[in-house]
Structure formats: structure tokens, C-alpha cells
């Protein structure tokens, strides 16, 4: 019950009693504590003897209730209540009576009526006082009824205002603003706080804080040791009217900032789960709030809890649908991009804009799998990191590094309290960060990283949405890589076809090989290329065509089995060396060579030679290069074999032509001497000999010879 009503009633009764001849002492009763309100008509100097407070036990209160409207002798009848007995003795009363001001059978006030002689206080003189007390009790009861009616009306008005505050789409700030207005009308203009609790993240947010005429909000913070956290954790209303700091400390709560002098709050409960709290406080005055104020706040909280819970579910559902639709739109947009740079740029910009993040970036894991390298990011900070080649070691002490190593999402809703977070000076406002792996099967392609300026702003449902988006993004990245590889392979095969065609069109073997090495150097981007052929005895390799080496390479002869190329020829299979400084077989030709790939030129099981390429970069060649050059090696071997065959056929044809010309000239001669002379001249001309001699046998007795020196003077 409101103390204002009780005080008003007691003051009315006190003023009426002042007009009588009796001495009175009036106390206000709160449970077992009696607080002095007024004394009147006491003997001189006795008023100071009346104690300000009396503590009366519940048993003693039951005895006092039995004395209602009864005149008692001090010495005989009230000794069982020692506190009152001592008081009446101090005041010198002979007789005493008690007027109990009650409401709903609870004593709200007690008036001690005393007399200094036995005759003045009797039933006849006491009866008017009894009537006054009855009237006071009636007034009190009626005031309570009026107060309860006003309370019901206020609660009804509050409920109406709350109902009217429910809008679509949901506006939390506007809703709490309506609550605050109703509380101020009912209780007064005090600081009002509407807090929400998120069980999933164990965090508290304050979307509405009214104080000193202004409204603001407070970002999410983790459940801690403050009064709000204690209130939500305990799920029980709290009223602290005075000594707030000491009482809060006794409850295990810590107070940050300016402490309140009066504080009360009640949790918002749904199905025995706290979803928030309503809090009212005053930083200037103590004992401002009463149990009646807290009861009103509890009633308000009961009405608000279900509304907030349903609104939160509806709002979360709507937001989740919006996010899923947004993720689907992003996935659709990025899936149409086949260029990886275009894909990543579009992805980070859409995520940044649609989800309103402070920063978004995508890291891709480099081929060595040692680092996650930033490939695309938003804002000026992102541009700077791209220019500097920002990268994080896989498995390092960073959120991106951790996710790149583990392949599992990681959410840090307060980066200031997590050791995994690696602060980035170019992103000073980051307060929450989440990283999601880009995976295809068990393969980790990279990491999607998003950052927010608001702590505890990334929920588990957000992670599910981002994981779906990251999966789509990973597939898109993989597709672009496959597309790029296909295009590269197609381009390489076109170049190989061009090289093969150019080599095959050469008129000589030398032209074919020179065309091949020059074309292959262009394909490989400037690497050194050489073709070595086996000698006639298949004991050595001799450089027949080269590009990128010094002139001295033509003098190089490599025995089969020696060096990398000799090993390839001897073992008839390719050899790829990532670092020639670690391979003792390498025969140094160029001092700055770091990696080498050699492939045998085999035609019909015959090793014709070796195709060799060298680079100044460590690990310059991979399986794809080996496969591509293996195809080229097979074509070159066929071209070399065909060129050799063509050359043999050409030489054979030339010999047959010469023989035909010689025999034709000989047949036209008419005598032996002319035949011999013609034969010697043609043979000398065809063979380039300086001297030619023909011996002819004559009969059975001996031989004759003819020797002619041709005009060419060749021997």
C-alpha cells in the first residue's frame, strides 16, 4: 500500500485527536518497525523520551491486536509487551488505550492514548476516539479502493499504449519509448532502462536508455557482474531504496559509473527464461521507490514480456528470411562471374552493402598452403592491404589464420577479450569478427572474413547464412579456377599445336628444332629451352637447338646417364627438379638456373634425344607443365624421326639422280677411251675427288689402267 495514503489518513486522525484532553503518541507501522509520527499533550519534557523507532516482534503485534479499543491499566495489563510497557511507564500514564488504524486486517498505524489519572479515561470519554478511529479506517479503506482503481486504470492505459506501440515492421526503440512515457506518468520522471538479453551469445543490449531528458542506446556487452546481469541471472525483481552500493555489493554486483541512490528492476520472463529487464533508477535521492512502485513495474513487465518475445521471434524470422534471400541474391550474382577477380570484388561489395558490415574481405590460400593471401576487400583499408600483399600464416594466431588451418567457422563477438584476434591498425573500429571457410569437400580454398563495429552483433543464425553463402562462393571460386585452367590448357594446346605445326613445316631438321624451341620459350614466358639429340652410336647427347643459353652451350656433349638430361635419356622417363641446388646430378650451364624439367624424345621405342627447359624460379614447373611438355615431346619425336627419314630419302634420291646422269653420259660415248674419261670426270664431280683412276683388265695376261686428272684439280 502507498505510504502517502497511510500518512494522509494518520495526519487526519492526529489533527482530530489534538482537540481532546488526552495525551497521544502516534506511530506509523511497517511490518515490525514502528516509526514515530506525532506526540501531543504530554507532560513537560516527556516528549523527548519518546523513541523515534520501536521494533515490535510479530508475537507482540498479535497481542496488541487483542487490545483493540480496550482501556488497560499500565501496571497490570500491558507488561507482556515490554517495549510499550517501558514507554508508558516513562510517560507516567495510569491508563492506556490503543487505536489501531487498519487496512485489510494489517495494522498501518498505532495511536497510544494515555491518561495521568484513572478517572479521565473511561468508556464514555474513549468512545468518541473510537468513532474517530473507525472513520479513519473507513477513509483508509476507501482510499485504498480508489488507489487500486487508479492503478487498474493506469495499468489498462499502459496496456492500451503498449498495444498501440506494436507496429510492423517492429521498432524496438519506439516500443520502449512508449513504455518509458507510461512509467513516467505513473511513477515519475526517473531514469528508465529497457534491456534485452540474448541467451545464445550470453550478451545484454540496451536499445533504450532515458536519462536527464535524453535518449540513447548502449551496445551489446557480455553478461557480467553488474546489477542488470544479476537481475537477469536471478530472474527476480530487486528493490534498492537506500545504501544501493552496499546492498549491491552484498548481492555480488559491481556498479560502474555514477551509482544510483535508488534502484529497482524486474526481469522480463518467458517460460522461466529471462529475455530482458526493465530498470528505473535515481542518482540523486534515496528511498524514492516503494514496493508499490516495484509491483507496478512487475505488472508492466508481465505484459511486456510476451509482446517482446513474440516481436523478437517475428523480427528475427523476418530478418533471417531477408538475410537468406540476400545471400541467395549474392550467390546468384557471383555465380554468373567466371573471372575470379570480378567474382571476388562483386562478392565482398555485396556482402558489405547488403549486411551492413564495417569490413568484408576474402582470403585465398596460396598453392604452397602456407599462407592465406588477401585477394579482395572493401574500403580504403582493403585497397591498402591488397597493395601490400597482406597475408596471414595458415594456423597462425589470428581469426583468419585459425579458420584457414581448421576449416571451421569462428565467431568472436568481442575482439577486445579474445586472444585469437589479431588487431589490424587499418581497421581500428572492429568490435566483432567472424571468419567462414571456403571449402569444396575437404579442400580449403580460402576464408570469408566479416567485421562489425558493434559487439555481439553476429548471431549463430548469421553464421549459418554466411556458411551457405561461403559454400556457394567456394564453388564459384572453384569453377572460376577450373574455367581459368581450362582456358589456360586450351591456350597452351593451341600454342603447342602452333609449335608442332611450325616445326613440322620446316624444310630441314635444324629449322624444325629451332622453330620448336623458340615457340616453346614464348609459351613458358621466357624460360631457357634446349633440344638435345642422341649421336649415331647413342652414347652422347648433343645440343641441336637452343634459346636463352650462352653460345657455349653448342659445345656441350653429355654422356648418356650423366646429368639430368643424360639420366632422362638413359631411364627413358621425365624428371622434374624443383631446386637444382639440391640435386647433385645437375651439370651447371647457367649459374642462375633454379628449376629444370627434362623429357625424353621417344619414337617407336627409340630414344632420339631430350627436351629440356630451365627456369630461374624455384619450383617453376608442376604436373600440368610436365603433362603439356610430354605431349609436345611426343610430337617433336615424331617430327624428328620424320625429318631424318625425309633427309635419308632426299639423299637417296639425289644419289640415284647422279647415277642416272652419269650412266646417260657414258652411254652416249663411242669409244673406250671416251667412256673412261667421261666416267672419271663424272665420278670426280659427284664425289669431289681430286684424282680418279680406273683400272681395266686386258685378256688373261694382265691389266691396263687409265688415270685421268679432272679439270677441277680435285683428288
Residues in the chain: 715
**Which CATH architecture best describes the domain 3-148?**
2-Layer Sandwich (3.30)
CB 98 within 8 A of CB 121: no
- Please report the pLDDT score of residue 438 as a whole number: 93
- Please report the pLDDT score of residue 336 as a whole number: 65
Question: 3.10.20.600, 3.10.20.30, 3.30.450.40, 3.40.50.720: which CATH number matches 336-472?
Answer: 3.30.450.40
Q: Which fold has domain 505-648?
A: Beta-Lactamase (3.30.450)
Fold match between domain 169-316 and domain 505-648: yes
- Please report the pLDDT score of residue 447 as a whole number: 94
Q: b/e for 23-46, b at 16 or more Cβ within 10 A? A: bbbbbbbeeeebeebbbbbbeeee
Other Cβ atoms less than 10 A from the Cβ of 490: the count is 10
The pTM of this model reads 0.47
- Please report the pLDDT score of residue 700 as a whole number: 47
**Domain locations along the chain:** 3-148, 169-316, 336-472, 505-648, 669-708
- Please report the pLDDT score of residue 71 as a whole number: 81
CB 279 within 8 A of CB 263: yes
Mean pLDDT, each 10-residue run in order, the chain (715 residues): 72 82 87 87 84 86 79 75 84 86 82 85 85 82 70 62 58 84 88 89 89 89 87 92 85 78 93 92 90 88 83 69 72 67 84 87 91 94 92 93 94 87 91 92 91 86 82 79 64 61 64 80 81 85 86 83 91 91 86 89 88 89 85 81 74 77 74 75 71 65 51 43
Q: Which of 580, 606, 593 is nearest to 553 (CA)?
A: 593
Q: Which of 189, 231, 222 is nearest to 204 (CA)?
A: 222
CATH superfamily of 169-316: GAF domain (3.30.450.40)
Dihedral sign, CA of 484, 487, 488, 489?
positive
Q: b/e for 94-117, b at 16 or more Cβ within 10 A? A: bbbbbbbbbbeeebbbbbbbbbbe
Amino acid at each position: 500500500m502507498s505510504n502517502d495514503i497511510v500518512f494522509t489518513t494518520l495526519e487526519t486522525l492526529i489533527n482530530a485527536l489534538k482537540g481532546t484532553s488526552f495525551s497521544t503518541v502516534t506511530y506509523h507501522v511497517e511490518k515490525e518497525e514502528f516509526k514515530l509520527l506525532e506526540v501531543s499533550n504530554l507532560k513537560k519534557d516527556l516528549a523527548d523520551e519518546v523513541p523515534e523507532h520501536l521494533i515490535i516482534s510479530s508475537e507482540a503485534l498479535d497481542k496488541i491486536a487483542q487490545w483493540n479499543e480496550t482501556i488497560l491499566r499500565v501496571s497490570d495489563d500491558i507488561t507482556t509487551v515490554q517495549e510499550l510497557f517501558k514507554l508508558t511507564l516513562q510517560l507516567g500514564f495510569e491508563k492506556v488505550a490503543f487505536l489501531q488504524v487498519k487496512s485489510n486486517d494489517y495494522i498501518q498505524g498505532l495511536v497510544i492514548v494515555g491518561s495521568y489519572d484513572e478517572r479521565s479515561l473511561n468508556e464514555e470519554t474513549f468512545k468518541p476516539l473510537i468513532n474517530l478511529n473507525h472513520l479513519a479506517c473507513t477513509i483508509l479503506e476507501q482510499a485504498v479502493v480508489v488507489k487500486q482503481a487508479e492503478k487498474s486504470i493506469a495499468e489498462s492505459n499502459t496496456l492500451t499504449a503498449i498495444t498501440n506501440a506494436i507496429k510492423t515492421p517492429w521498432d524496438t526503440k519506439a516500443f520502449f519509448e512508449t513504455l518509458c512515457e507510461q512509467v513516467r506518468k505513473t511513477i515519475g520522471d526517473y531514469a528508465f532502462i529497457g534491456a534485452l538479453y540474448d541467451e545464445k551469445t550470453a550478451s545484454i543490449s540496451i536499445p533504450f536508455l532515458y536519462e536527464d531528458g535524453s535518449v540513447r542506446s548502449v551496445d551489446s556487452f557480455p553478461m557480467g557482474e553488474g546489477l542488470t546481469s544479476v537481475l537477469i541471472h536471478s530472474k527476480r525483481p530487486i528493490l534498492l531504496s537506500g545504501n544501493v552500493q552496499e546492498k549491491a555489493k552484498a548481492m555480488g554486483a559491481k556498479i560502474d559509473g555514477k551509482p544510483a541512490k535508488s534502484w529497482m528492476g524486474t526481469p522480463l520472463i518467458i517460460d522461466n527464461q529471462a529475455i530482458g529487464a526493465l530498470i528505473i533508477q535515481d542518482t540523486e535521492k534515496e528511498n524514492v521507490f516503494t514496493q508499490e512502485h516495484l509491483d507496478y513495474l512487475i505488472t508492466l513487465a508481465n505484459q511486456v514480456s510476451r509482446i517482446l518475445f513474440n516481436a523478437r521471434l517475428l523480427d528475427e524470422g523476418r530478418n533471417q528470411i531477408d538475410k537468406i534471400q540476400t545471400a541467395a541474391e549474392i550467390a546468384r550474382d557471383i555465380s554468373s562471374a567466371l573471372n575470379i577477380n570480378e567474382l571476388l570484388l562483386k562478392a565482398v561489395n555485396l556482402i558489405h552493402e547488403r549486411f551492413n558490415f564495417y569490413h568484408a574481405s576474402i582470403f585465398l590460400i596460396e598453392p604452397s598452403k602456407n599462407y592465406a593471401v588477401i585477394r579482395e576487400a572493401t574500403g580504403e583499408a582493403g585497397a591498402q592491404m591488397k597493395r601490400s600483399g597482406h597475408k596471414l600464416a595458415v594456423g597462425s594466431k589470428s581469426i583468419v589464420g585459425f579458420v584457414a588451418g581448421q576449416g571451421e567457422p569462428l565467431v568472436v563477438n568481442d575482439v577486445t577479450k579474445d586472444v585469437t584476434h589479431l588487431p589490424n591498425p587499418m581497421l581500428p573500429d572492429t568490435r566483432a569478427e567472424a571468419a567462414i571457410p571456403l571449402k569444396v569437400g575437404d579442400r580449403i580454398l580460402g576464408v570469408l572474413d566479416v567485421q562489425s563495429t558493434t559487439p555481439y552483433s553476429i548471431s549463430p543464425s548469421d553464421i549459418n547464412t554466411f556458411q551457405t553463402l561461403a559454400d556457394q562462393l567456394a564453388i564459384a571460386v572453384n569453377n572460376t579456377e577450373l574455367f581459368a585452367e581450362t582456358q589456360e590448357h586450351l591456350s597452351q594446346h593451341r600454342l603447342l599445336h602452333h609449335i608442332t605445326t611450325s616445326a613440322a613445316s620446316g624444310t630441314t631438321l635444324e629449322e624444325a628444332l629451332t622453330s620448336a624451341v623458340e615457340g616453346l620459350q614464348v609459351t613458358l614466358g621466357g624460360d631457357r629451352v634446349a633440344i638435345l639429340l642422341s649421336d649415331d652410336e647413342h652414347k652422347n647427347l648433343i645440343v641441336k637447338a637452343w634459346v636463352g643459353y650462352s653460345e657455349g652451350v653448342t659445345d656441350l656433349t653429355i654422356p648418356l646417364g650423366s646429368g639430368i638430361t643424360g639420366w632422362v635419356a638413359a631411364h627413358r622417363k621425365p624428371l622434374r627438379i624443383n631446386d637444382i641446388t639440391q640435386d647433385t646430378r645437375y651439370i651447371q650451364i647457367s649459374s642462375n638456373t633454379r628449376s629444370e624439367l627434362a623429357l625424353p624424345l621417344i619414337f617407336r621405342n627409340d630414344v632420339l634425344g631430350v627436351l629440356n627447359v630451365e627456369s630461374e624460379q624455384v619450383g617453376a614447373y608442376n604436373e600440368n607443365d610436365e603433362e603439356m611438355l610430354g605431349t609436345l615431346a611426343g610430337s617433336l619425336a615424331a617430327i624428328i624421326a620424320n625429318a631424318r627419314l625425309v633427309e635419308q630419302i632426299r639423299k637417296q634420291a639425289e644419289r640415284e639422280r647422279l647415277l642416272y646422269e652419269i650412266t646417260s653420259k657414258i652411254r652416249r660415248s663411242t669409244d673406250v677411251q671416251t667412256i673412261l674419261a667421261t666416267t672419271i670426270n663424272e665420278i670426280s664431280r659427284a664425289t669431289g675427288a681430286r684424282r680418279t683412276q680406273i683400272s681395266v683388265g686386258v685378256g688373261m695376261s694382265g691389266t691396263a689402267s687409265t688415270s685421268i686428272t679432272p679439270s677441277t684439280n680435285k683428288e
